[in-house]
Amino acid sequence: MVLKYLIEKEFKQMRRNPIIPRLILVFPCMMMILMPWAANLEIKYNNLAVVDLDHSALSRRLVEKVASTDYFNLVENAPDYGRALESVERGEADVILEIPRDFAKSLGTGCPVELQISANSINGTKGGLGSSYLSTVVNDFVNQELGGTGMARLSVLNLYNPHLNYKVFMVPALLIMMLTLLCGFLPALNIVSEKEVGTIEQLNVTPLNKFVFILAKLVPYWIVGLVVLSIGLVLSAVLYGIVPSGSLWLIYFFSCIYILTMSGFGLIISNYSATMQQAMFVMFFFLMVFILMSGLFTPVRSMPDWAQWIAAFNPLTYFIQVMRMIFLKGCGLTDLWPQFGKMLCFMSVFAGVAVWSYRKTNA
């Protein structure tokens, strides 16, 4: 019963605020209407899986030439295309180069040979650049080895995003950014704002349990986050025709965990802050680190090793993986157990620290 009245109090405070109700509605609309047209990406590095069906000296030299460039990292020599495709589905490879049988023999006799490049095009820019770079390297190799007498014909298959539409890659990222900003900033300003107005002192002198108090702070922003997510999903479907390939309920399930994680982190900052200005700048610092070092816009593999270690302790990193795997690949819960376990740990730690760090004092 106490929890019910506390949650009611939080919603009344939101409604009386002249900015927050408008922000909840206007912010996702502006993000989904404007940002997909303005944001664009350029990716440099790709992980390469090779399917060498020829096993000739010429095909091995081709693989060595591709692997020696700065644009590709050879991660697997797969025995067949199906095995290489599994690496793409697991996120371990970005591009597949399939070298057909009799590759060396056909080029030696001047016959055309068809090589297939399959690129993971969830990120349309990355898939297009990877295919283009690989095509250039193969053509240069043919001209160099055979003096321009050979002819190689390439067929490119863009997986998950056939038309290289960068909005397919950007829309899930924008949905994540909306949840991160709203469910991070608003809780970070909550408790400290009550400290400034003095209303927190009235709660501190009551026998109110700390767990109930923090839970009453988390639930409203959990609901706000789900409302914002719903608005974003509707706009992405109506404006761009982009709908999740996987389960919509699975997206909501993982979003619930992530919202509670970021809200708990925001409450931790609010507990330790003395003023709203202090809380705002501290939260802004951490959100910038979370966003820029999470793979939201640039792949984590392109970062230095030390940055990849930081990304491993970033809850946003795993939510991005979940959203793109569900939204674009159509993955199910069985494919997302590693991310689920890590996100659950982050949620438990942040929510637990938020309860522990709240001090019932009159200061």
What are the pLDDT digits (tens) for 245-259?
888 999 999 999 999
Which pLDDT value is given to residue 353? Answer: 92
Q: Which two tokens stand for residue 208?
A: 């109110």
What are the pLDDT digits (tens) for 228-281?
999 999 998 998 888 888 889 999 999 999 999 999 999 999 888 888 888 889
Examine the pLDDT at 363 and tell me if it is beyond 50. Answer: no
| Mean pLDDT for the chain overall | 82
Global pTM value: 0.71
Domains of the chain: 2-38+165-357 (no CATH), 46-159 (3.40.1710.10)
